[in-house]
């Protein structure tokens, strides 16, 4: 076959039109244009245009400033994101540095994210025999930035140099509610109470009355429990046993717990007590403490009796009026947030931050909220079109990588006729009907 380059506008990333439709319609993001920043000349790309450019790159799975150069002549990228022009690498870097140091930028992005999330009809819920909850999973996940000299990169608990940002995900489908970049060596609870206060405010703005906040043991803190109790929202916090004796918990479990079915040589007790105070602070009211105590009397591999039994204890703070077994199951589903971390790092590709400045990297991570949720919205809307899907999907949530492969990196041709621009897809494009219906909703 012969190959040659023509003059037609042919694109391999037609799905940027879907993401652009969601991002360009965010009125909250346009509030950034009102901010005054030094060294910005009249007629240059607007502040909101810079932020949309970064979000558009993330939707394509591109996370370096240099990646913007490949989009500078892409008419579809520019028009989909409603940009006056696509910024250069140098312009993008300098403008983000300035925006990161300008007061109000982060608030504008957060407000735009809430505007985007308000378009979601179903976040995915946890159902119990007595109620339905919208989980809010809050957790720290490290980012490997080894071998770099970026500001505030330090040794993390995963034994490498990097950052330790905190994330909040809403619903079982994994919409990102909020995030915050942190130095790698920062303890997971430091600043978390303030972060949760922001998440509570966001949940209130979205009108979610049945939120269920879930935390790991690193966030076992009296001030956090006090804040959540005052908010009126449900929560589950895995307790840090610290200096509590396992034998004492085994005695309590035998006395007030329920023995669950298990193999020979293993006893499992589940139950609840209500006399403990968060952080041992007597001025706070006692709250429910759910426990799961496992006593192993024989070796699981050999079946031989153990000289001393092995005791494993898991306990949880909660204000849920549910059975102990239900609360334990709800907490274990908190582990699903690890998959959401993976989609950010591997699917979008954001683990090594692009800037040497901490403030700029913090802004970049904040802007990823918009791209992450735009891709999530596109994927979930596609799942609602079962009859149009070219493949059979028996899942409740699509990975962002699948969304990008099927609906973002989709071949098309941009044509112009009688003053009208038309995006044409191939005759045998399997995802065209889904693309067409989603585009009608953005």
Identify the segments of the chain with pLDDT beneath 50: none
- Distance (Å, rounded) from C-alpha 83 to C-alpha 74? 11
Q: What is the mean pLDDT of the chain?
A: 93
- Distance (Å, rounded) from C-alpha 84 to C-alpha 44? 9
* Interacting residues of 250 by C-beta distance below 8 A, sequence separation 6+: 269, 293, 295, 311, 313
Residue bearing tokens 């394509």: 60
Q: What does the block give as tokens for 360?
A: 């700029």
Q: What is the pLDDT of residue 39?
A: 57
pTM of the complete model:
0.93
Q: What does the block give as tokens for 386?
A: 């079962």
Q: What is the pLDDT of residue 10?
A: 87
* Interacting residues of 392 by C-beta distance below 8 A, sequence separation 6+: none
Q: What is the pLDDT of residue 102?
A: 86
- Distance (Å, rounded) from C-alpha 243 to C-alpha 302? 32
Q: What does the block give as tokens for 211?
A: 């939120």
* 126-348 CATH: 3.90.350.10
- Distance (Å, rounded) from C-alpha 357 to C-alpha 150? 6
* Parallel, antiparallel or unpaired: strands 132-140 and 126-127: antiparallel
From residue 335, alpha-carbon distances to 190, 227, 270 in Å are 21, 23, 20
- Distance (Å, rounded) from C-alpha 358 to C-alpha 273? 44
The domain limits of the chain are 9-117+363-439, 126-348
CB of 319 closer than 8 Å to CB of 226: no
Q: Is 421 left (phi over 0), alpha (psi -120 to 50) or beta?
A: beta
- Distance (Å, rounded) from C-alpha 132 to C-alpha 119? 21
CA dihedral 317, 321, 327, 331 (to 10 degrees): -60
Q: What is the pLDDT of residue 132?
A: 94
- Distance (Å, rounded) from C-alpha 142 to C-alpha 327? 27
CB of 59 closer than 8 Å to CB of 19: yes
- Distance (Å, rounded) from C-alpha 323 to C-alpha 429? 50
Q: What is the pLDDT of residue 43?
A: 59
Q: What is the pLDDT of residue 8?
A: 82
DSSP character at residue 183: B
């Amino acid at each position: 076959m012969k190959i040659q380059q023509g003059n037609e506008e042919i694109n391999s990333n037609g799905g940027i039109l879907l993401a652009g439709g969601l991002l360009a319609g965010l009125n909250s993001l346009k509030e950034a244009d009102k901010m005054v920043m030094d060294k910005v000349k009249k007629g240059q790309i607007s502040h909101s245009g810079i932020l949309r450019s970064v979000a558009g790159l993330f939707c394509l799975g591109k996370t370096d400033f240099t990646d913007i150069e490949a989009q500078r002549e892409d008419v579809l990228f520019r028009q989909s994101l409603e940009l006056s022009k696509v910024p250069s690498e140098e312009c993008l870097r300098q403008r983000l540095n300035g925006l990161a140091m300008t007061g109000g930028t982060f608030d504008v992005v957060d407000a735009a994210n809430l505007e985007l999330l308000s378009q979601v009809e179903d976040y995915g819920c946890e159902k119990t025999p007595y109620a339905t909850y919208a989980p809010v999973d809050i957790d720290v996940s490290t980012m490997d930035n080894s071998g770099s000299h970026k500001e505030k990169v330090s040794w993390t608990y995963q034994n490498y140099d990097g950052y330790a940002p905190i994330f909040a995900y809403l619903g079982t489908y994994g919409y990102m509610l909020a995030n915050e970049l942190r130095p790698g060596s920062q303890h997971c609870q430091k600043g978390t109470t303030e972060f949760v206060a922001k998440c509570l405010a966001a949940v209130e703005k979205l009108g979610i009355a049945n939120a269920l906040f879930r935390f790991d043991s690193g966030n076992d803190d009296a001030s956090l429990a006090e804040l959540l109790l005052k908010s009126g929202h449900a929560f589950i916090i895995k307790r840090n046993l610290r200096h509590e004796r396992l034998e004492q918990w085994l005695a309590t479990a035998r006395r007030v717990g329920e023995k669950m079915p298990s193999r020979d040589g293993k006893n499992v007790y589940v139950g609840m007590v209500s006399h403990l105070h968060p952080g041992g602070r007597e001025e706070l009211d006692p709250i429910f403490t759910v426990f799961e105590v496992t006593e192993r009397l024989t070796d699981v591999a050999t079946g031989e009796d153990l000289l001393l039994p092995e005791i494993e204890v898991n306990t949880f703070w909660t204000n849920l009026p549910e059975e102990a077994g239900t609360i334990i199951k709800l907490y274990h589903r908190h582990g699903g947030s690890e998959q959401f971390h993976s989609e950010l790092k591997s699917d979008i590709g954001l683990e090594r931050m692009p800037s040497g400045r901490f403030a700029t990297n913090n802004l970049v991570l904040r802007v990823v909220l918009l791209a992450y949720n735009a891709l999530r919205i596109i994927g979930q809307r596609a799942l609602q079109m079962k009859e149009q899907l070219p493949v059979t999907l028996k899942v409740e949530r699509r990975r962002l990588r699948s969304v990008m492969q099927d609906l973002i990196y989709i071949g098309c041709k941009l044509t112009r006729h009688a003053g009208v621009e038309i995006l044409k897809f191939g005759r045998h494009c399997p995802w065209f009907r889904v693309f067409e219906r989603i585009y009608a909703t953005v």
